[in-house]
Chain A
Amino acid sequence: MSMLEIKDLKVNYGGIEALKGISFQVEEEEIVTIIGANGAGKSTTLRAIMEVVKPAGGSISFQGEEITGMNTQRIVEKGIVLVPEGRRVFPNLTVLENLRIGAYLRGDKQGIEKDIQHVYSLFPRLQERHWQHAGTLSGGEQQMLAVGRALMARPKLIMMDEPSLGLAPLVVKDIFAIIRRIHEEGVTVLLIEQNANAALKIAHRGYVMETGRITLTGTGTALLNDESVREAYLGKAH
């Protein structure tokens, strides 16, 4: 049984089919990446899993349980959490308040305090700045906060939407190191990236998406060496 199993998922925006029936799986303790160009439907896939957009067809199951049509709150409680594209921290809340919002659905006060300390140990910068408004953080720090906030929900599966978007190359390196670290702590990762090179290097398996369809799948290394992937997403020089 896969941890996350997507079967024939379809999403329409108005009259446009954003997802034309995609199927894929994420196994427990894997890093899986979906790569593809702008507008291929990658973000839509994650939003459909969270039920932030309603699928037009297909099924999503998590740990053997059908979650299609559940509300977002229940899905977060089941252990799936989304780090949205563009970080989307709450700019007028402090860093600490942002982290607490991540644990909004949890009632265990002590556990929350412990997890805040844990996030601080992962990202010491957040502890230094815990009283600052999140809007005043740098892009990299905001991404750390977005990841930290997601971890506060104690997820089993963390889904990241373009975590490297708009960040300096050095910071991007940090972000990928953090993804590895999270994975080592036993959290399964579903990663969406335009930075295909970096994503495929840390992923166990990858899927290639094009205009609402999955066109190719394989292990990270296999895709990295695939001629068509190299041509389309990595640039020929690689």
Chain B
Amino acid sequence: MKKKTANLISLGLVAGLFLVLFLLEQVMDPASMLFVVLKKGAIYALVAVSMNLLNGFTGLFSLGQAGFMLIGAYAYGILTIPPEARDAVYQYFDGGIIQFALPVPLALIIAGLAAAFFAFLIGLPVLRLKSDYLAIATLGFAEIIRAFFQWDALGPITNGSNLLRRFPTFSSVIFPFFVAGLCIAIIVLLVNSSYGRAFKAIRDDEVAAEAMGINLFKHKQMAFVISSFFAGVSGALLAMYQTTVQASAFKSAMTYEILLIVVIGGIGSISGSCIASFLFIACNEWWLRFLDNELFIGTWQVPLLRTGFRKVVFSIIIMAVVLFYRQGIMGDR
């Protein structure tokens, strides 16, 4: 009974959220920064939660998130560009070799599956490594993938180092909220299932978990593949948001941004990752933008404010969080 009412309340909250989003879109200027923050924030929330599933719940310190987002973004772009637009997009590759377009929901799922498939393959060797080595290996993987997708020989599929564009996108903020919300809900269910419990047990104490009969490799592989699936979906959403895709944009700096969100939100806290994601995007795209602009008061130039200073401030924030506020906004450790 108690659980039922709790479910009803959260269902009501979700419905309310979507109603508010809908109303906002009716009354506000669609070019407002608020919508930028909401759209990008929802996408980053999903990838941050997927990273938290690995780093926070399973204790696997992986830095390959940008690589899996790239795979998802490309898979989505490649599969959904309408055939009539392909000649223009693949202008250096005779229109490419793929001449069909899949519906958006199917392409989103395939984007996730493609990322998951790569995760499965590289997981076989990489997940046998311990913490720091795993981070290095996954980071290396993400860099290799970025170079690989820009390889000219793959041009008929990936368009080489040129942009992918003219694939279906979204304009309403409802769409990324719906997809990201659905995916995060699935991750929450997973974390609270017996598999989630096993993940947390592995994080807490590998030896004891193994002695309880939990197959370490199998569960790590499962967490890695599932996390990558959702990173792939969020990569596809990011592609839709940006309306273009280019491999060179998925740098390791992107992974660090996501890691920053996870740490600020609290390692092992899904709500924390979501809140921190919107906060981060709002600061990065909106509230702290002034740090990058030179400012004159009369003839006096305010010191330090110049392009790139925002990044310095972010670095200081993460150091402060790690030193003094280790549990983050919502973490309990």
Contacts and interface: CB of A to CB of B under 8 A. Distances in A.
Interface of A: 50, 52, 71-73, 75-77, 81-82, 84, 88-93, 97, 100-102, 104-105, 149, 153
B213 A90 contact: no
B208 A93 contact: no
A155 B58 CA distance: 27
A73 B215 contact: yes
Given A97-B197, A101-B197, A92 B204 contact: yes
B205 A101 contact: no
Interface range on chain B (Cβ under 8 Å from partner): 10 to 19
A88 B201 contact: no
5 contacts: A88-B205, A88-B208, A101-B212, A101-B214, A104-B197
Contact of A153 (B198, B203, B204, B213): B213
A105 B211 contact: no
A84 B194 contact: no
Nearest to B216: A72
A-B residue pairs, 4 tightest by C-beta: A76-B213, A88-B208, A90-B204, A73-B213
B200 A88 contact: no
Given A92-B200, A92-B204, A92-B333, A101 B211 contact: no
Which one of A77, A100, A104 has the greatest number of beta carbons of chain B within 10 Å? A104
Interface of B: 194, 197-198, 200-201, 203-205, 207-215, 268, 333
A104 B210 contact: no
Nearest to B211: A82
A88 B212 CA distance: 11
A17 B213 CA distance: 26
B194 to A, nearest CB: 7
Given A93-B201, A104-B198, 16 more contacts: A71-B215, A72-B213, A73-B213, A76-B212, A81-B212, A82-B211, A84-B208, A89-B208, A92-B200, A92-B203, A92-B268, A101-B197, A101-B201, A101-B212, A104-B213, A105-B213
A88 B201 CA distance: 10
A79 to B, nearest CB: 11
B211 A100 contact: no
A177 B212 CA distance: 24
